[in-house]
Amino acid sequence: MPSIIVNKVDIDLVEQERSTFQRFAEMSFSQCVNLIQIPRDRRYISMLPASYVLRRREEGDAWEDPMMQVALWNLHDLGVAEMSMSMEAPEGGGDPAPQIRFDRAEATDMALGRDSAINFSTVKSGRGLIAALNNVIHRTFHLNGEEFEVGIQDREQVEKYAKMAHEIRQPQEGLLFAIARVLASMLKQGLTAEDVEVRAGMELLTNLGCTAISVVTDEDRVVFNGFSVMAGLSSGLLQGLEWEQLKEIRKNVEMMIEQIKARAETPVVQSMPRPVAKRRRRN
């Protein structure tokens, strides 16, 4: 039976319902917004389940509690074999602060962000959700050769953008291309990556596995330069898709990657000739 050591105590890990893993992921997703504010070199998804374990133990939860078990499974799947935790008061006084140390750990595919972490087994069990969250906090998007962090954008703004893309979507046109055309139109109007509308577009493209585009405004076209299987799988899994649906996402993203490698078949779409958004700066 798998186990993890916490404060020198060996704790057995018991299989949990997928719904419990989903509940934990939903709770953790909102905390990812704050985690993204931490510099990338100190941003670890493992801090979310570790902090949960410490907080719930301070409140008296048992190791056998389902949500506690899910948090421990997350740590185990991220490669943590042994950890120490406590609440300690600062030397200068003040309220106790959480102290967490991973005493023994070895990076796994989930910790390293590899798409192999999301497979039939981890989707069926729900254990792949922590790998999807890990992708969310590290997503980047390249727009005209410049890298931007995708982050987690305002839901209302993302939904507004998605509605716009659906409205201009042509018959038989893939949603990816419609989203890209909206983004191209925004850039042509003068919006930049500092605007919330453009940020929402980058997140939607990333959700579909696209991680890099170039917009040639003078020629009214968009060139797709990069795709990520992990980005597409992570988004789909967090939306509740099943393995068969995720396999289709993998297939489609891999096809786009192959087309880019061929270059002669690089997908190009025309951008929109009419305005689709009013300029509004990010706060």
Question: Are 154 and 225 part of one and the same domain?
Answer: yes
The residue from 133, 162, 194 where one domain ends is 133
41-96: pLDDT as tens digits: 899 999 999 999 999 999 999 999 999 999 999 999 999 999 999 988 677 767 77
Question: Are 190 and 220 part of one and the same domain?
Answer: yes
Question: Are 119 and 158 part of one and the same domain?
Answer: no
Let me know if residue 174 belongs to a domain. yes
| pLDDT (0 to 100) of residue 218 | 79
Query: pTM of the full predicted structure?
Result: 0.90
User: Rounded mean pLDDT of 249-273?
Assistant: 77
Let me know if residue 158 belongs to a domain. yes
Let me know if residue 280 belongs to a domain. no
Question: Are 152 and 127 part of one and the same domain?
Answer: no
- Judged by average pLDDT, the poorest of 82-86, 105-109, 232-236, 270-274 is 270-274
CB 271 within 8 A of CB 178: no
- Look up the domain containing 223 and give its range: 139-270
Percent of the chain with pLDDT over 90: 83
Beta strand 3-6 with 80-88: parallel, antiparallel or unpaired?
A: parallel
Let me know if residue 58 belongs to a domain. yes
195-207: pLDDT as tens digits: 999 999 999 999 9
Question: Are 127 and 184 part of one and the same domain?
Answer: no
Let me know if residue 39 belongs to a domain. yes
Q: Give, to the nearest 10 degrees, the angle between helix 196-207 and helix 229-238.
A: 100
> Per DSSP, what are the bridge partners of residue 97?
88
Question: Are 159 and 252 part of one and the same domain?
Answer: yes
Using DSSP, how many helices (H) and how many strands (E) does the chain show?
11, 9
CA 208 – CA 227 distance, rounded (Å): 9
CA 178 – CA 196 distance, rounded (Å): 18
| pLDDT (0 to 100) of residue 265 | 52
The residue from 110, 133, 156 where one domain ends is 133
| pLDDT (0 to 100) of residue 277 | 47
For residue 82, the 8-state DSSP code is E
| pLDDT (0 to 100) of residue 281 | 47
Percent of the chain with pLDDT over 70: 92
pLDDT above 90 for 270? no
Beta strand 210-216 with 140-143: parallel, antiparallel or unpaired?
A: parallel
Question: Are 174 and 110 part of one and the same domain?
Answer: no
